Structure 1
Amino acid sequence: MKVASSLRKAAPRKAHRERSQPAARAQLGLLEKKKDYLVRSKDYKEKRARLKKMKEKAAFRNRDEFYFAMINQKTNNGVHIKEQRAERFSVDEQALLKTQDIAYINYQRSVNLKKMERLQTIRHVHPIAAEISELKEFGLLDKEYESLDSDNEDNSNDVGKPETSIAIKKSTGKPTHVIFVDDESQVKEFNPIKHFETSANLLNQRHNRLRIVSNASNSESKKESSIFQGPTLENSADPSVHLDKKTQKQKLRLQNELAAREERELKLRRVHAEMQVQKNLMGKGAKMKIGVDSLGLPVYKWNPERKR
């Protein structure tokens, strides 16, 4: 009876395992397979053929052979020693190379600084400060609220004042949060912290704003509050604990990248200063070392020359 090929392929087959090195030869390493032997054999045959060719060339060498280049050459126990002539650059050529290196360092610094500026303006690093800086840049922030980002912590107790919220002018690009009330008295008595059920330092955060939940009488009310009211600040002194883990991880990654960029900028600045000093030392004039700068590099002073 013939079995279908698909059924035959689906049937379990024996697992073929390679034999390992015997315990008595474990000190020799892994057991050599055929593919390992082929690589080793090919390398051995190539070396053997090269040695054979060199021996034949030495056997048929003419001992009376002479070239005029042999006059300035040396041998050591019959072995020819070829002198390595290092390329020597003039002072002007070396100065030109230093200039090219400094230009490359400046290019790398400019690229690094642009990336640092981009990281510093990303909202995930400092969301509230970034939003306020963008509002200032586009002229959407009123003058009486321009210092809100710096005085945010100091105004945490003034919960009844209108300064706890940002007043934004009309704009098509920036969204606004408008709350409608019945009369003017409610405007004066409006408490944004109580209305949004959050803390004062999180009022300016538009996304994923945490809420404060009062102590419930039983576990069911706590469960319902956690379901319908979203993230809370209950039983936690640090609001960042309840933030989304992915957001926290991304924020940490950006902060680490920014720290690495700042360290790279310091190293590039040190290399640039050192190369500039080396280039200046290649110039003319008497100089004298007078000390060390903040980067640990030597500082030189050149004697003044009278110009015509």
Structure 2
Amino acid sequence: MSSWKKAAKAHQKTHRERHQPEARKHLGLLEKKTDYKKRAKDYHDKGKTLKILRKRTLDKNPDEFYFHMINSRVKNGEHHELVKEEEHTSEQKKLMQTQDVKYINMKRTMESRRITRLQSELHMTDIAESTPNTHTFFVDEDEVENFDLAKRLDTHPALLGRKSNRPRLADLDKIQLPDVDEKTIQNLKKKKDKVYKELSKRIDREKELMVIQQKMEIKKHVQSAKLKPKRVKKGSKSNAPVYEFQYVRKK
């Protein structure tokens, strides 16, 4: 580059875009060319999109159907996806993907044995007292007004609410109760409540394993069937699906 060009470039004036005048400062910053180009491009892009959507709306067939319409709805002008109910829980998916039917059956058998053992320890007397029950007595009309339930059952009036462990008056005189303080009674009650909670968890676990076992067995039968079975009822987190298999005559 010659010295003359260098000198001309050094003295070249830098043209800058003017700023917002003092009298118009209340209107904000003055839009520059780069800002205008971005705003104009965004405006034209939106216009093209609206033009395409308008054309699709005019060309739409009112009798058109596609399967996604079943899983979506338009409510108050807004499109909403229908939330599908999960067929399996996370625990069911994990066991079904990592274990086989024999393992599930073994774990279910273990839970059933533990449930039986806990029930034999508790005797379930508290649950028996909480369940509603009726006991009908047939008496004469003149005995209705003066009917004494405690006398009829031959027990103490304080024991009438019990359905189990309700001794007779003759047996109450023979019973010798041990001396137990209030602290011991509270400890025994806490221990019993703890066993009941464990029993409840075991029962829920056994039901969960039963559902998993049923789902895995049905899936195996469906895959091995020569003729595709018809699904009668869809499965859920608490129930296995129900299929109707076609009868195949054996030779």
Fold match by TM threshold 0.5: no
Structure with greater proportional helix content: 2
Q: TM-score, normalised by structure 1?
A: 0.34
RCO higher in structure (CA 8 A, sep ≥6): 2
Q: TM-score, normalised by structure 2?
A: 0.40
